[in-house]
């Protein structure tokens, strides 16, 4: 077991090539691996591992806490991203199907705080009126449709940059309990986990692509999220940008790292201007979208920009 946050391990199986009767001065050809799996990345709860292998190889990913294993398939491009849950157990074993090859990554634990936010305007938290509920429902349908769309791209292999220049204000992970009163005088209470990384930027700050991707949603008016862009980086990884004042990209558009997506704002259910950047890990080899989850964007910024 390798106990490092920056993880790298390889397992491979080779055999010597049998004699080919090559001409005397022919170059010696190294035997290609019959099977291998090579993983690197950030081995921390909420992090991401990047594995390479022969296209089509299946990796069975088993958490040490006995939670359900997930199977991922190495793509045509020879790589696959493996998200690590916020509450993943202390190790993940990655086994190459139909072989005896496996790697075990020791997972660094997170310590996410629990916060109580009082004096909240409840009407800002929940959809309460019928019109608000309808708006939230339409927004939900658009988001679910976009999360079912998968594009090809470099995934996390090229690394990530910050999508806006500004100080981080809220990290990924804390549980927030909101307590407040609505316009009708009724008290309300709601608990949620912050699944994005917030940057405190004034309205109108340029938002750029943190990595290459294809736009799978561009909408100026989702109920909770406000102006929103989904950018699919490939390998199932999708960036979500919320509360934007301006959306400058359209669905299907190919965007390079650093290219403008729009401008930050204070739209949707917010308590002030900021950019909420979230990254969802989805398993492209599974039809079941309930197995997808958000990972910590700040950890992606630590990824080495190239695979070994
Ligand atoms: Zn946020």
Domain containing residue 221: CATH number: 2.70.70.10
- Ligand 1 centre and the CA of 176: distance in Å? 11
Same domain, 67 and 127: no
Same domain, 20 and 91: yes
- Ligand 1 centre and the CA of 243: distance in Å? 9
- Ligand 1 centre and the CA of 17: distance in Å? 55
Q: Quote helix, strand, coil % in the chain, to nearest 5.
A: 10, 45, 50
Query: Tell me, what CATH number does 73's domain have?
Result: 2.60.40.10
Q: Is 105 within 8 Å of 92 (Cβ atoms)?
A: yes
**Domain boundary at 106, 138, 153, which?**
106
Higher pLDDT, 303 or 13: 303
Same domain, 61 and 178: no
pLDDT at 22 over 80: no
Q: Which residues lie closer than 8 Å to 194 by C-beta, 6 or more apart?
A: 170, 171, 172, 173, 174, 175, 176
**Domain boundary at 50, 84, 106, which?**
106
Same domain, 158 and 210: yes
- Ligand 1 centre and the CA of 82: distance in Å? 23
Same domain, 205 and 68: no
Residue 196 lies in a domain: yes
Question: pLDDT, tens digit, for every residue of 176-218?
Answer: 898 888 777 888 888 889 999 999 999 999 999 999 999 999 9
Residue 220 lies in a domain: yes
Average pLDDT over residues 136-160: 96
Least Cα distance to 97 among 69, 71, 75, 65 occurs for 71
- Cα distance between residue 84 and residue 92, in whole Å: 9
- Ligand 1 centre and the CA of 120: distance in Å? 16
pLDDT at 294 over 50: yes
- Ligand 1 centre and the CA of 27: distance in Å? 57
| Backbone phi, psi, residue 5, to 5° | -65, -45
pLDDT at 2: 42
| Backbone phi, psi, residue 132, to 5° | -65, -40
- Ligand 1 centre and the CA of 142: distance in Å? 20
Give SS3 for 286: coil
Could you list the beta-strand ranges (E) of 136-210.
Answer: 168-170, 175-181, 187-193, 197-199, 206-208
- Cα distance between residue 274 and residue 225, in whole Å: 12
Same domain, 122 and 70: no
Same domain, 268 and 120: yes
pTM, 2 dp = 0.90
Residue 307 lies in a domain: no
pLDDT at 29 over 80: no
Least Cα distance to 78 among 152, 6, 2, 4 occurs for 152
Residue 308 lies in a domain: no
Per-residue H/E/C for 120-169: EEHHHHCCCCHHHHHHHHHHHHHHHHHHCCCCCCCCCCCCCCCCCCCCEE
Domain with 222, as residue range(s), is 114-300
Question: pLDDT, tens digit, for every residue of 161-176?
Answer: 999 999 999 999 999 8
Pairing between strand 293-295 and 275-281? antiparallel
For residue 115, name the pLDDT band (cuts at 50, 70, 90): confident
- Cα distance between residue 85 and residue 246, in whole Å: 32
pLDDT at 97: 94
Q: Is 260 within 8 Å of 206 (Cβ atoms)?
A: yes
- Ligand 1 centre and the CA of 185: distance in Å? 27
Same domain, 20 and 157: no
- Ligand 1 centre and the CA of 110: distance in Å? 18
- Ligand 1 centre and the CA of 87: distance in Å? 19
- Which residues does residue 192 pair with via DSSP β-bridges, in sequence order? 176
The number of domains in the chain is: 2
pLDDT at 143 over 80: yes
Q: Which residues lie closer than 8 Å to 120 by C-beta, 6 or more apart?
A: 178, 179, 180, 188
Same domain, 203 and 280: yes
Residue 305 lies in a domain: no
- Ligand 1 centre and the CA of 298: distance in Å? 13
Same domain, 145 and 286: yes
- Ligand 1 centre and the CA of 172: distance in Å? 8
Least Cα distance to 86 among 104, 106, 67, 110 occurs for 110
Q: What is the distance in angstroms between the CA of the first residue and the CA of the last residue of the chain?
A: 19
The per-residue DSSP string of 54-95 comes to STT-EEEEEETT-PPPEEEE--TTSEEEEE--TT--SEEEEE
Same domain, 124 and 259: yes
- Ligand 1 centre and the CA of 196: distance in Å? 5
- Ligand 1 centre and the CA of 197: distance in Å? 6
For residue 93, name the pLDDT band (cuts at 50, 70, 90): very high
pLDDT at 302 over 90: yes
Q: Is 268 within 8 Å of 227 (Cβ atoms)?
A: yes
Same domain, 17 and 122: no
- Ligand 1 centre and the CA of 277: distance in Å? 7
């Amino acid at each position: 077991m390798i106990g490092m946050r920056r993880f790298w391990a390889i397992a491979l199986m080779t055999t010597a090539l049998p004699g080919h009767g090559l001409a005397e001065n022919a170059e010696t050809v190294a035997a290609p691996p019959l099977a291998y799996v090579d993983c690197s990345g950030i081995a921390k709860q909420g992090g991401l591992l990047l594995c390479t292998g022969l296209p089509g190889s299946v990796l069975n990913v088993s958490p040490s806490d006995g939670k359900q294993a997930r199977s991922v398939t190495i793509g045509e491009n020879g790589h696959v991203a493996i998200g690590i849950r916020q509450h993943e157990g202390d190790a993940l074993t990655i086994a190459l199907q139909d072989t005896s090859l496996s790697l075990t990554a020791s997972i660094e634990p997170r310590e996410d705080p629990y916060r109580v936010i009082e004096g909240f305007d409840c009407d800002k938290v929940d959809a309460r009126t019928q019109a608000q509920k309808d708006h939230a429902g339409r927004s939900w349908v658009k988001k679910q449709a976009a999360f079912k769309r998968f594009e090809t791209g470099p995934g996390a292999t090229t690394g990530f940059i910050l999508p806006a220049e500004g100080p981080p204000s809220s990290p990924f992970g804390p549980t927030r309990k909101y307590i407040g009163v609505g316009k009708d005088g009724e008290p309300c209470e709601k608990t949620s986990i912050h699944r994005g990384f917030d940057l405190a930027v004034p309205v109108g700050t340029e938002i750029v692509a943190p990595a290459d991707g294809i736009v799978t949603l561009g909408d100026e008016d989702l109920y909770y999220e406000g102006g929103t862009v989904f950018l699919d980086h490939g390998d199932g990884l999708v960036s979500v940008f919320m509360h934007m004042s301006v959306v400058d990209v359209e669905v299907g558009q190919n965007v390079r790292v650093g290219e403008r997506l729009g401008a930050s704002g204070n739209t949707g259910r917010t308590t002030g201007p900021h950019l909420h950047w979230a990254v969802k890990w989805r398993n492209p080899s599974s039809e079941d979208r309930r197995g997808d989850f958000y990972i910590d964007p700040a950890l992606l910024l630590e990824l080495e920009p190239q695979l070994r």
